[in-house]
Structure 1
Amino acid sequence: TANTMNCLTEALGMSLPGSGTIPAVYADRRRLARRTGEAVVRLLRENKTAGQIMTPAAFRNALRVDMALGGSTNSILHLLAIAREAGYQLTLQEISAIGDATPQLCKLNPAGPDFITDLNEAGGITAVLAELAQRDLIETAALTVDGSMADRIFGNPGADGRVIRPIDAPYATDGGLAVLTGNLAPEGCIVKKSAVLPEMMCHQGPARVFDSEEQVTEAIFSGRICPGDVVVIRFEGPQGGPGMREMLTPTSALAGMGLDNQVALITDGRFSGATRGSSIGHVCPEAAVGGPLALVRESDQILIDIPARRIELLVPAEELAAREPAPKPDRGLRGVLARYERQVGASSQGAGLIDPSKETRP
């Protein structure tokens, strides 16, 4: 996630070229730090603000780079939240459309063999931008901290052919991240499809339902999760957690036990950027606010169809309407956490804090 956001900050135009990929131990990073300080002083003198740079076009550019890289699923949360603070109402529907139209040019760890250092040697984010611009997928008039996006990519050769594939020979014709919708996630959920094995792109299986990360971790280590299962971890969303924890332990355990090619995982929580496999997160609405995850029962059949962008609970609508949602666990919260629980927004909007004066939740 840190690598992804570093790259996207550069793609947004909010940092200098090279900022996203130069390794911390390189002398180039020290030189870049000095140039960054000089740029800050210049921007202050020119009265150039972040709001002038972080326009809707800049966010679209960042999202296209995200899709081309196959970045962390957390980047979707962060971009939604940052855009909201910048006054731009970015939506999952817009993100989905961008993803469907943007080819995946890189396969970085854990989805593939290359690392951020390899991307740096291949030309970094500027090369990715230049390659995408060949299909007019980059809005080159967007401002940056050092000029415009057009200035950055002018004369750049683009893809190196190995780490960054040519746009006419991508890893996939669509992006590395996908938004799924369906009766289990009416407002959407996120999957890093670039890290999903081909045999798990479409999967149907029985739900194994857990109300916390700790519960599912114990079940995995005790051997109670079987090939074909669909693990459901609920009440781990922004309000339910509260705080939307990373489900790193269960996803790592499934991968370590060789089950990531046979078991899917669905949660209203989120994942580490290092997660691989059919791990579907940010399910919205979350269980804590009465979302469909709260209606799932043990052994219900769940269908995941990533190519079709669908996620469905295969239970008749009449039966679902008759079910009582699972009760939200009492976390015994007080103080700041209790206040956060009351005021945090939905993951589909970046899980930022909502205006208390406009709060409608009980």
Structure 2
Amino acid sequence: MRSKEVLKKPEFSMQRAAYKSMGYSDDDLSRPIIGIANSWNTIVPGHFNLRLVSEFVKRGIYRGGGTAVEFGVIAACDGVAQGHDGMHYILPSRELIANDIEVMAQAHRLDGLVLLGSCDKIVPGMLMAAARLDIPAIIVPGGPMLGGIEFDERKADLTSVSEALGMMSAGKISEEEYYNLEDVACPGCGSCAFFGTANTMCSLAEAFGMTLPGGALTPATYAERLRIAQESGIAICELVKKNISARKIINKASLENAIRVCMATGGSTNAALHLPAIAYEAGLSLDVLEMFDSLSRTTPQIAKVNPASKWDMEAFYMAGGIPRVMENLGDLINRDALTCTGRTVAENLASYRYHYPEDKRVIRDLSDPFNATGGLAILHGNLAPDGAVCKPGAMDPSVWHFKGKAMVFDDEESADKAILDGKVGPGTVVVIRYEGPKGGPGMREMYNAMKYLYGRGLALSTALVTDGRFSGTNNGCFVGHISPEAAEGGPLAIVKDGDEITIDVEKRELTLHVSDEEIKRRLAQWKRPEPKVKTGYLALYSKLASSASKGAIFKF
């Protein structure tokens, strides 16, 4: 065991004394030392319950024969960070999380890790750390929150409040209705009740085999969440005993499973940012965006959850969640892939017990899909030579082919203001640039812009393209992750007001209707802008972050 490198008698008695100063016994120090990387805090709803979840993980670790040692991990909330400078820090926090876990695990020679997290950049950062360290590890999510009051023909959630702001600005609801929604949209803690990036990445952690079956989507307030936590504590001790490390689980086969599940469920576009980063940390030399593209063409969408339908995460869980999706995908899933149970996907599915009956309004059979192809699509063209990402699973088919005239903005705030002021009309392609990993810096979500377009009734008559990214809850017609980004001299930098742009989902094309000669002429005249931030972590991030098409990983 790694921990014995620093706890062996007599030469490491000083380290043993340090542990004993906190009450650990000789018996404790003879067991595997299991780190609990806990992102609990009282800022982020998805992490509010993790202190209690951690106590049940500890019970499991002790029952499994290990000794638990706990440390904190930062966790920032995308929801709280929306619409202001705080969003610049959200994606960059992913690298900090991975680095912090690496430091704690290596400095203290931990034998295994239980990673507690629920939200957008925390779970990807934890998976990156596990893959980088290649020691036994398990992800334990905190679980989704329950839906709120009925609003706009579905249970309300956090994004309902943003959509309602657009409705109020358009005179569709009163100010009193708007402020009442603030009190009843989110009835309790958990990762948001829609299938955004948080719940997508928890689901993909389960598809990878890094979370116990059913562990991704059991709601935060269910007692089953605590039982899963305890079982995870037992399971990590078994992984340590059997020397099943993270890279034995995170490999090409499980990566394909994760992408298949993402396509089959219409997961967040941000998955196309995080899975390349996880693959990189696992030492997999793969073109992950190309895998997204090829697998999307052969993976039907068999689940539809908010924002693609009215069904929330509780309904998705009750319909069978990720086990049901993987079971229904049949031979499209690599069933011999190893998982954190120590068993294969096939063995896990054969023994899984569903608590609720099937609901084919939410999860269908492979023979009767919602869409013949996957929920995400990778687009290429003269506006995105290295690729861009859209989400047909959350787009009305009427906007799968959209042609309009560009209205260009060099930041999110000016676009948001124009939309709320009624300056954006039907037939417009809103272009928001200089919001990529380097240019932003930090690749902010263009969440508000899409929600305001929806609230003002423009979701089916406008489009939005950006080198930034989107929340997993966005719908309408949108394309993000345009690479190369504008700050790196990508073609997005030279788009002008009035230029025509076509989005063609079925052909996987994103086209700027400007001649090649004119594009070259404009690019020759373009000048790289000054960095927006010149000090602190964001300045460092801007220098080190790679293209979105490569997962925005650090390149040294």
TM-score bucket (shorter structure) = over 0.9
1:223 to 413, 416, 422: 422
SS of residue matched to 1:95 = helix
Give 1:160 shift.
4.4
Tell me how far apart the structure 1 counterparts of residues 430 and 423 of structure 2 sit (CA, whole Å): 11
1:139 to 320, 328, 334: 334
Tell me how far apart the structure 2 counterparts of residues 166 and 184 of structure 1 sit (CA, whole Å): 37
- Matched with 1:121 is 318
- Matched with 2:507 is 308
Give 1:259 shift.
0.6
User: Is the deviation greater in 207-216 or in 217-226?
Assistant: 217-226
Query: 1:242 is aligned with what amino acid?
Result: P
Please list, as runs of the form range in 1=range in 2, the aligned pairs for 1:316-327 lying within 5 A after superposition: 316-323=515-522, 324-325=525-526, 327=528
- Matched with 1:346 is 547
Tell me how far apart the structure 1 counterparts of residues 420 and 226 of structure 2 sit (CA, whole Å): 45
Task: Tell me, yes or no, if structure 1 residue 247 matches structure 2 residue 442.
Answer: no
Give 1:336 shift.
2.2
- Matched with 1:161 is 360
- Matched with 1:64 is 260
Give 1:326 shift.
5.9
Task: Tell me, yes or no, if structure 1 residue 272 matches structure 2 residue 468.
Answer: no
Task: Tell me, yes or no, if structure 1 residue 77 matches structure 2 residue 283.
Answer: no
Tell me how far apart the structure 1 counterparts of residues 423 and 213 of structure 2 sit (CA, whole Å): 49
Query: 2:390 is aligned with what amino acid?
Result: V
Tell me how far apart the structure 1 counterparts of residues 308 and 229 of structure 2 sit (CA, whole Å): 30
Preserved contact between residue 22 and residue 28 of structure 1 (Cα < 8 Å): yes
1:202 to 387, 401, 412: 401
Give 1:198 shift.
2.1
Query: 1:23 is aligned with what amino acid?
Result: P
Task: Tell me, yes or no, if structure 1 residue 101 matches structure 2 residue 302.
Answer: no
Tell me how far apart the structure 2 counterparts of residues 100 and 39 of structure 1 sit (CA, whole Å): 36
Tell me how far apart the structure 1 counterparts of residues 533 and 219 of structure 2 sit (CA, whole Å): 43
Equivalent residue pairs, number: 353
Query: 1:144 is aligned with what amino acid?
Result: T
Preserved contact between residue 444 and residue 468 of structure 2 (Cα < 8 Å): yes
Preserved contact between residue 275 and residue 288 of structure 2 (Cα < 8 Å): no
- Matched with 1:53 is 249
Preserved contact between residue 343 and residue 353 of structure 1 (Cα < 8 Å): yes
- Matched with 1:358 is none
User: Is the deviation greater in 114-123 or in 294-303?
Assistant: 114-123
Query: 1:234 is aligned with what amino acid?
Result: R
2:392 to 188, 193, 206: 193
Tell me how far apart the structure 2 counterparts of residues 8 and 205 of structure 1 sit (CA, whole Å): 35
SS of residue matched to 2:329 = helix
Tell me how far apart the structure 2 counterparts of residues 317 and 167 of structure 1 sit (CA, whole Å): 43
Preserved contact between residue 68 and residue 106 of structure 1 (Cα < 8 Å): yes
- Aligned-CA RMSD value: 1.5
Query: 1:107 is aligned with what amino acid?
Result: K
Unaligned runs of at least 5 residues, structure 1: 356-362
Give 1:161 shift.
2.7
Unaligned runs of at least 5 residues, structure 2: 1-196
Give 1:155 shift.
6.7
- Matched with 2:222 is 26
Give 1:254 shift.
0.6
SS of residue matched to 2:297 = helix
Tell me how far apart the structure 1 counterparts of residues 367 and 227 of structure 2 sit (CA, whole Å): 35
Query: 1:298 is aligned with what amino acid?
Result: D
Query: 2:459 is aligned with what amino acid?
Result: D
Give 1:153 shift.
2.0
Q: 1:238 to 1:62 in 2, by over 3 A?
A: same
Tell me how far apart the structure 2 counterparts of residues 196 and 299 of structure 1 sit (CA, whole Å): 24
Q: Residue by residue, what CA displacement relative to the aligned partner does 1:148-187 show, whole Å, maximum 9, x if unpaired?
A: 1110222779964331111011001100111111000011
Tell me how far apart the structure 2 counterparts of residues 222 and 97 of structure 1 sit (CA, whole Å): 41
Query: 1:340 is aligned with what amino acid?
Result: Y
Tell me how far apart the structure 1 counterparts of residues 456 and 325 of structure 2 sit (CA, whole Å): 35
Task: Tell me, yes or no, if structure 1 residue 335 matches structure 2 residue 540.
Answer: no
Instruction: Name segments (4+ residues, structure 1) moved above 6 Å.
Output: 155-159
Tell me how far apart the structure 2 counterparts of residues 16 and 22 of structure 1 sit (CA, whole Å): 11
Preserved contact between residue 178 and residue 193 of structure 1 (Cα < 8 Å): yes
Whose RCO is larger (CA < 8 A, sep 6+)? 1
User: Is the deviation greater in 291-300 or in 332-341?
Assistant: 332-341
Tell me how far apart the structure 1 counterparts of residues 371 and 396 of structure 2 sit (CA, whole Å): 13
**Identity fraction in percent:** 45
Query: 1:352 is aligned with what amino acid?
Result: I
Tell me how far apart the structure 2 counterparts of residues 155 and 31 of structure 1 sit (CA, whole Å): 17
Tell me how far apart the structure 1 counterparts of residues 475 and 530 of structure 2 sit (CA, whole Å): 28
Give 1:330 shift.
4.0
Give 1:325 shift.
2.7
Q: 1:85 to 1:159 in 2, by over 3 A?
A: farther
Which entry has the higher C-alpha Rg, 1 or 2?
Answer: 2
